[in-house]
């Protein structure tokens, strides 16, 4: 065989090898998809179905360190988790962001619980009073929660999920693999579509039929004002690194401090008058009366409090008017706190700058935080 023929044969072989290699590479790429956690998961194709190999997906951790169960018993809940699509909602009952998500979650429970969806509320508290099971039970009743709620008082399950946020939703498929993760409010249509897809997967694996899902849940979503005062904490431990107590006396851990009204007020800072005990997570009024002052920007202002007390609410130097009246404030500008909870003080249509003054008439009143919308 002469050299020209040999060269032609060699080149032809190389071309064939390259073509085969490219074909194999494309075949491998087509068999992979991106998983919800950013890793590659293979899809295996059969004549009748497409299923995830779930390579790289994490399984939902077990519920650990649970101090109490509401709407379920431990063994009963464990049995329900097996073979269900599970939405784990990490929340706490005085968190306004958590509260705003609850109408959607309770609606999904009502709509999909008979089709294989199990919702579990993991109640991981921010403040000490939220560890009281009776307080949580009142909140469960208040918000119409019928699905199981577990009290994760030491945040062991919170840590098992490697979580750092309120609220946070994880959805695990019927085999226990986490397929969806959402932080905060919003994303409701997206979340519901994931629920539907995973319920379909479950039904196909079991060979069962699902009823028609119908339209997605339609509930008016809270619209945040983008220009607003950040959350303000009264506890010296919580305020560490983000101190917005404007009073010159400052924090004095575990001591009683007499605060005076300053000559000037700075926007996004709060000020107090009277004698208050400085606690890790809040402040407690010691004197017969006291006042809180706050220059803010928002359309909604909430307070988280404990202790029974009567409060008078003033806005811009006068009794708050109906235009700005919070849901928990009476027409005379009076707010009665009777249970450790979140109370809505100001509620307006648009965000704007105002000066809030709260007069407290009862010693023993505790306040933990201001939140805004």
* Range 110-122 average pLDDT: 98
Residue 16 pLDDT class (50, 70, 90 cuts): very low
Q: How many CA atoms lie within 13 A of 30 on its CB side?
A: 7
Residue 78 has pLDDT above 70, yes or no: yes
- In this predicted structure, the answer to whether residue 341 has a pLDDT above a threshold of 70 is yes
> What's the confidence (pLDDT) of residue 172?
98
Q: Which residue has the tokens 């003080």?
A: 345
Q: Is the pLDDT of residue 10 over 50?
A: no
pTM as predicted: 0.84
Q: What is the per-residue pLDDT across 256-274, written as a single tens digit (0 to 9) for each?
A: 999 999 999 999 999 999 9
Q: Which residues 6+ apart lie within 8 Å of 103 measured at CB? A: 219
Give the integer Cα–Cα distance in Å for 365 and 337: 9
Residues ≥6 apart with Cβ < 8 Å to 74: 66
Does the fold of domain 232-372 match that of domain 68-206? Answer: no
Q: Is 45 exposed, middle or buried (0-12, 13-18, 19+ CB in 10 A)?
A: exposed
Please give the helix or strand (H or E) that residue 337 lies within, else none. Answer: strand 334-337
Per-residue pLDDT averaged across 169-177, rounded? 97
Domain boundaries, given as residue ranges, for the chain: 3-52, 68-206, 232-372
pLDDT at 52: 56
The string of DSSP letters for 171-221 reads: EE-TTSBEEEEEESS--HHHHHHHHHHHHHHHHHHHT-------SPP--PP
Backbone angles phi, psi at 337, to 5 degrees: -90, 130
Backbone angles phi, psi at 34, to 5 degrees: -85, 130
* Contact predicate 347/299, CB 8 Å: yes
Condensed to tens digits (0 to 9), the pLDDT of residues 25-52 reads 433 333 333 334 433 333 333 323 345 5
Q: 93 — phi, psi (to 5°)?
A: -75, -15
What is the CATH superfamily name and number for domain 232-372?
Answer: Galactose-binding domain-like (2.60.120.260)
State whether CATH 3.40.30.10 applies to domain 68-206.
Answer: yes
Instruction: At 201, list the tokens.
Output: 């997967």
Q: Considering only CA atoms, give the Rg of the chain.
A: 28
């Amino acid at each position: 065989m002469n050299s020209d023929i040999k060269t032609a044969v060699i080149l032809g072989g190389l071309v064939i090898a390259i073509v085969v290699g490219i074909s194999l590479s494309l075949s491998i790429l087509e068999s992979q998809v991106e998983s919800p956690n950013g890793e590659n998961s293979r899809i295996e194709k059969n004549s009748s179905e497409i299923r995830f190999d779930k390579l790289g997906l994490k399984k939902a951790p077990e519920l650990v360190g649970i101090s109490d169960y509401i709407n379920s018993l431990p063994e009963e809940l464990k049995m329900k988790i097996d073979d269900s699509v599970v939405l784990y909602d990490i929340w706490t009952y005085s968190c306004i962001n958590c509260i705003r998500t609850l109408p959607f979650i309770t609606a999904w429970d009502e709509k999909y619980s008979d089709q294989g969806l199990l919702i579990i509320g993991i109640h991981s508290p921010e403040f000490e009073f939220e560890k009281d099971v009776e307080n949580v039970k009142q909140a469960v009743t208040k918000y119409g929660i019928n699905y199981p709620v577990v009290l994760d008082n030491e945040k062991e399950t919170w840590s098992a999920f490697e979580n750092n946020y309120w609220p946070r939703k994880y959805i695990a498929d019927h085999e226990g693999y986490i397929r969806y993760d959402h932080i905060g409010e919003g994303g409701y249509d997206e979340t519901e579509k994931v629920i539907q897809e995973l319920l379909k997967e479950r039904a196909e694996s079991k060979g069962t039929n699902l009823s028609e899902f119908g339209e997605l849940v339609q509930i008016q979503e809270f619209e945040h004002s983008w220009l607003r005062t950040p959350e303000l904490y009264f506890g010296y431990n919580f305020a560490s690194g983000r101190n917005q107590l404007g009073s010159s006396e400052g924090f004095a851990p575990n001591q009683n401090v007499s605060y005076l009204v300053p000559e000037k007020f700075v926007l996004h800072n709060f000020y107090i008058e009277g004698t208050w005990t400085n606690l890790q997570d809040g402040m407690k009024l010691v004197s017969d009366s006291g006042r809180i002052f706050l220059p803010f920007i928002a359309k909604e202002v909430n307070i988280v409090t404990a202790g029974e007390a009567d409060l008078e609410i003033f806005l811009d130097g006068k009794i708050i008017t109906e235009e700005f009246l919070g849901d928990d404030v009476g027409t005379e500008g009076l707010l009665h706190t009777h249970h450790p909870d979140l109370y809505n003080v100001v509620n307006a249509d648009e965000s704007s700058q105002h000066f809030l003054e709260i007069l407290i008439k009862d010693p023993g009143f505790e306040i933990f935080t201001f939140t805004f919308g």
